Structure 1
Amino acid sequence: MSAFMPVTRSTLHSPLWLVPFDDFARQVRTAGVQVRLERFDDRGGWVRLDDRVTRTPGGALAFPGLGRRAEPWAARPERHRALVTAPGYQALYPADDEPFSAALTGVEFLAHPWNDTHPPAVEVAPRLVRLLPATAHPYPPGTRTVHGVVRDATTGAPVVNALVEARGRTSRDGAPWHERTLSDTRGAFRLALRWEGERASEHAVEETFRLEATERPGRTGALAVHLPQDAERQHVIEIREQ
C-alpha cells in the first residue's frame, strides 16, 4: 500500500510527479495504481529500489526525498525509471508528444542531487501517464470489443507491447474518436470500439474499422475489421518495415 502524504509535508523536491490517467474512462485514476522504482547502475543494468511512492492530496504520485544528499555538489544526477501497474491496465510510457516505441518500458528521469540549502538543479513538471485497457480489462456490460494478436510479418513471432489503435468520426456531429490498447506478453490485444465505424450508406448495417498497430516508427501494420460479422473472429495484425 502506498503512503499518503499529509498536506503539511512538502513534495516540491520530488524529481518525478506522475499523474495516472485512465484513457478509457477519461479521468485521473490513482486507485489500485502501483509504482516500482529502479535505478540504472554503472554496470548497465536496472536495479530495483525500495523507495515507496507517495500519493499526494492532489492525486499525483511522487518520490519526495529521492536525490537528497548531504553534499549535493559532490554528487551527480542519477538515472531512474518508474514502472506503473494497475489491475486491468497497461501503462503507455511515451509522452503525448513523443513517438511510440514498444521498447520503452518505464518513465525514465534524472534525480538531481539536492538538500535543504541547495535545491534541485531543474524544476519538475507533472507527467501524465496514460493507462490503457489491457486484455483483461473489466469493460462495462455491452461494450463492443474486438480481439486478436500482433505478429511479426516475417517471423510470425508475437509483438509485445505494440500500440493498437482505431480512429474515426461520429456521423451525427463529426466529433473525432480514438480507441487504443497495448498487446500483452503473448502479443494479444482486446480493443474497445464504442463509437461507430464507416458505413457504405446511411442505412447500411456493416461498419468498417481500420485497426493500426505500431511497434516503433517505421514498423507498423494495419487491418480492416467489418462489424458485426467479424465480431468473434481473432484478428491478426502483421507488423513489418514500412
Structure 2
Amino acid sequence: MTHFYPVETSVLHSPAWFVPVDEFAQRGRTAGVVTELDRFDPDAGVWVPQETQAIRTPSAAIAYPELGRRRGAGAEPERFRVRFAAIGLAPLYPADGEPFDATAVGVEFFAYPYDDVNPPAVGSEPRVVRLLPSVAFPYGPGVRTVYGVVVDAATARPVANALVEARGTTSRDGIPWLERTLTDQRGAFRLALRWEGEPAGTDQLFHLRATERPGRTGATDVRLPTERDRRHVIEISEGPLAGSDHQREQ
C-alpha cells in the first residue's frame, strides 16, 4: 500500500522532495510515476540501487522521509539520485534551475545525517521535475505534431535524450508559449505544436532548437502545413546555435 503523508511532515524528515509535473497537461502528477533511488559509493565510484521506498503526499509530491537518520554525530553526508519513469513521458534532468545535459541520469541530492537531538545540517526545498511527452506519448485527436531526428553534425550518429523545443508568442495577446520533448535512444522526436507560429505566406513558421548540453546545440525551421509530413533533421554541433533549410530532409 502506498503511504501518504502531508507535505509538512515529509519536508521535516526528507533530505529532498520532488514535485513531478506533466508538462503537456500543465499539472502535478504522481499517478503512474515510478521512482528508483541510488546511492553513490565513493570507494567503488559506482551508483548502488537502494530498496528505500518513496512516499507520495496528497499534494502530489514524492519524498524519502527518514533518509539520513541515525548515522551518528560527525557522519558525512551521502550522495543520492532519484530516477523517474512514466509511460509515454520522459523526465527532464536535472530538476528546474540547472542547465540541461542529455547525459544526466537522475536528480542528485545529499542526505545529511541527523537524529532526535541534532537536525540535518542543511534543509530541503521542493524540486520540480518536468515530465515531457516522449515519442510514444498518446497525443489526443487534433493535436498538431511534427517529427524527426537529432544527429551529431560531424558523425551523423543519433543523439539520445536531446531536448527539442519550440517557443513563440501568440499574435492576439502576446502570451509566450513553449513546447518541449526529448529524443529517444534512436534520436527520434515527436513535438506538439499546439500554438500559432510566425506568418510565412500561407504557412506558419516555427523555430525548433535541439540541445545536448550547454554549447552543443542545433536548430531548424519548420513551415506548416507545407512540411507537416516531412522528417526533420536537426544537426547538433559545438559553438553558436545555427540552423537552416539544409538540416531537413524528406
CA contact (8 A) 2:149 2:183 kept: yes
CA–CA distance in structure 2, aligned partners of residues 14 and 79 of structure 1: 14
Number of matched pairs: 237
CA–CA distance in structure 1, aligned partners of residues 64 and 145 of structure 2: 37
Residue 219 of structure 1: aligned partner: 216
Amino acid at match of 1:4: H
Find out whether 1:52 has 2:53 as its counterpart.
Answer: yes
- Give structure 1 regions of 4+ aligned residues with deviation exceeding 3 angstroms: 6-10
Normalized against structure 2, the TM-score is what? Answer: 0.91
Give 1:89 deviation, angstroms. 0.6
Cα 1:6–1:212, aligned 2, differ >3 Å: closer, same or farther? closer
CA–CA distance in structure 1, aligned partners of residues 215 and 7 of structure 2: 49
Amino acid at match of 1:160: A
CA–CA distance in structure 2, aligned partners of residues 176 and 8 of structure 1: 31
Cα 1:100–1:57, aligned 2, differ >3 Å: closer, same or farther? same
CA–CA distance in structure 2, aligned partners of residues 163 and 210 of structure 1: 14
Find out whether 1:140 has 2:140 as its counterpart.
Answer: yes
Cα 1:24–1:52, aligned 2, differ >3 Å: closer, same or farther? same
Find out whether 1:232 has 2:229 as its counterpart.
Answer: yes
CA–CA distance in structure 2, aligned partners of residues 91 and 8 of structure 1: 22
Query: Identity rate of aligned residues, in percent?
Result: 59
CA contact (8 A) 1:144 1:193 kept: yes
Give 1:157 deviation, angstroms. 0.8
Give 1:148 deviation, angstroms. 0.7
CA–CA distance in structure 1, aligned partners of residues 126 and 229 of structure 2: 41
CA–CA distance in structure 2, aligned partners of residues 54 and 97 of structure 1: 24
Normalized against structure 1, the TM-score is what? Answer: 0.94
Residue 155 of structure 1: aligned partner: 155
Residue 38 of structure 1: aligned partner: 38
Residue 9 of structure 2: aligned partner: 10
Cα 1:177–1:58, aligned 2, differ >3 Å: closer, same or farther? same
Unaligned runs of 5+ in 1: none
CA contact (8 A) 2:7 2:57 kept: no
Give 1:140 deviation, angstroms. 1.5
Residue 248 of structure 2: aligned partner: none
CA–CA distance in structure 1, aligned partners of residues 148 and 51 of structure 2: 37
Give 1:58 deviation, angstroms. 2.0
Give 1:30 deviation, angstroms. 0.9
Structure 1 residues 115-166: Cα deviation after superposition (integer angstroms, max 9, x where no partner): 1221111110111101100001111211000011100001111111111000
SS at match of 1:10: helix
Moved more, 80-89 or 94-103: 94-103
Structure 1 residues 31-78: Cα deviation after superposition (integer angstroms, max 9, x where no partner): 10111000110211111111111001222100111111252x142101
CA contact (8 A) 1:13 1:119 kept: no
CA contact (8 A) 2:24 2:133 kept: yes
CA–CA distance in structure 2, aligned partners of residues 7 and 213 of structure 1: 39
Residue 118 of structure 1: aligned partner: 118
